[in-house]
Amino acid sequence: MPARAAGHDSLAGIDLLDVMMIHDQRLRPASRDRRGALRWETIVPAAARLVVGAGLLLGAMGQAMALEPGSAPADRPDDAPDLRIPFPVIRAAGALERRGKPVLLAGVVVTQPAETCGDDADRWPCGQMALTAIRRFVRTRTIECAFVPAEGGDAQGAKCSVAGEDIGQWLVSQGWARSDGSDYGEAEEEARKARLGVWSPTRPGIAKQALAGAISEAEAAEAAVRVEVNLSSQQLTLIHRGTVVANWPVSTARAGKITPTGRWRAQWLSRHHRSSLYNGAPMPYSVFFNGDYAIHGTNEIGRLGRPASAGCIRLHPSHAAVVFDLARREGLENTLVVVRR
């Protein structure tokens, strides 16, 4: 039943300051319809109310909404989070953003998106892969955080979780971030021993596929379709059954990214492919040859002839269509990709 506050103006016997709770909102009677049924209006959501002075109720925007004699703010539960972030923005493995301001995960060293791991020819974009991993883990679920002191800057350090799982713990245990020494030490040691994430000497999930696709020079000589890419000249040479049929400009990895070198058979084709790593970027006529690496068409044709990609080999869409069609007609097992410096 509504709580009554006697001594105030009334509406057909109902005190105007009668208040009731429905679905976490505070309501008061506003009027009656023709049949005498009460119409209720919202005062302010209970979670947003602020009671000051002698009962002046302020809404979320600060307007005086109603008088509520004798009321008081509800006590905050001890385990309530300091911050909830619905539909979170994640800038790096270990760095979130809320309303344009950074929130750093406490206990971890942020893996920057431009970071690379491995040595020389085995170098791989661990920063981008770490960012993709945490975004796939969190998805659009609400993040809850409890703040902890942070040193310097306006970034806030926080212990954050999603669905009850500590995000910092997950990142370090999966190898996508390092411990800063204050926490998660055991998780880092286990990830290091298992060579997970940034501790892997080669790109995770790629080594077995690359081994299966790599072929010897003798086998390469028998390939019906041979696609040779020169990273120094940013040129692609297409050879069909021993005859050079085309020389085209390409774009390979820009600074901070890697296009692997070696020899592989083509592994799979995707006519209307979109990137799962880079915001759905179009990759028409994709010929995948080494895990996530592919030869594909690009809309950025003005950048062909110089390094500009995140690692794949970009071609003019009409040229990519020729490579795609030859690989499809001759078969993946008869299509060779060779990348040299």
Catalytic residue annotation: 296, 312
Q: String of b and e for 304-324 (b: at least 16 CB within 10 Å)?
A: beebbbbbbbbbebebbebbb
- Comparing C-alpha atoms, which of 292, 120, 312, 113 is closest to residue 207? 292
User: What one-character-per-residue DSSP string does 281-306 give?
Assistant: -EEEEEEEEETTEEEEE-S-GGGTTS
- Comparing C-alpha atoms, which of 136, 140, 156 is closest to residue 148? 156
What Cα–Cα distance (Å) separates residue 262 from each residue in 151, 219, 246, 290, 341? 45, 14, 21, 10, 10
- Comparing C-alpha atoms, which of 180, 175, 224 is closest to residue 331? 224
Show the tokens assigned to 165.
């799982």
What Cα–Cα distance (Å) separates residue 192 from each residue in 109, 152, 172, 179? 15, 29, 10, 11
Query: Which residue intervals of the chain are DSSP H helices?
Result: 126-138, 167-173, 185-194, 207-213, 217-220, 317-330
Alpha carbon distance, N-terminus to C-terminus of the chain:
80
How many of the other CB atoms lie within 10 Å of CB of 137? Answer: 17
Which amino acid type is present at position 159? K
Bridge-partner residues for 96, per DSSP? 90, 103
Strands of the 235-240 sheet, one edge to the other:
243-249, 235-240, 225-230, 335-340, 262-265
Which amino acid type is present at position 59? G
- Could you give the CA distance from residue 265 to residue 210 in angstroms, rounded to a whole number? 9
